[in-house]
């Protein structure tokens, strides 16, 4: 069962990222991405809760981008933006509602 879950995770999350960027997100990127996912579905919250979630998400997106700026100084702006976009795409794959 665990092996099946790992295979699904690899097939739908890690492999697509590697195919495009030839890199696996590092632990910090994964942690920030997972934290962002915690705040994705704020529409069920009160107005105050929604505002708090929106504020946290904005801060986390900024932190992720700034982390990539410092972690990958040798990359061009385009390469960093592509990496950032790929992480966002990975988050979307995890948080899609069926």
Cα 46 to Cα 52, 54, 56, 57, 88, distances in angstroms: 10, 12, 15, 16, 25
Sorting pLDDT into bands at 50, 70 and 90, what band is 25? Answer: confident
Please say if the pLDDT value at position 89 is more than 90.
no
Please say if the pLDDT value at position 82 is more than 50.
yes
pLDDT of residue 6: 79
pLDDT of residue 95: 60
Q: Are 37 and 95 in contact (CB under 8 A)?
A: yes
Domain residue spans of the chain: 26-95
């Amino acid at each position: 069962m665990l092996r099946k879950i790992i295979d699904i995770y690899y097939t739908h999350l890690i492999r697509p990222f590697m195919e495009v960027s030839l890199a696996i997100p590092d632990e910090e990127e994964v942690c920030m991405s997972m934290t962002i996912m915690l705040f994705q579905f704020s529409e069920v919250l009160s107005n105050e809760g929604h505002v708090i979630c929106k504020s946290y998400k904005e801060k986390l997106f900024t932190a992720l981008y700034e982390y990539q700026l410092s972690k990958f100084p040798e990359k061009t702006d385009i390469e960093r933006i592509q990496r950032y976009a790929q992480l966002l795409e990975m988050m979307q794959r995890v948080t899609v509602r069926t």
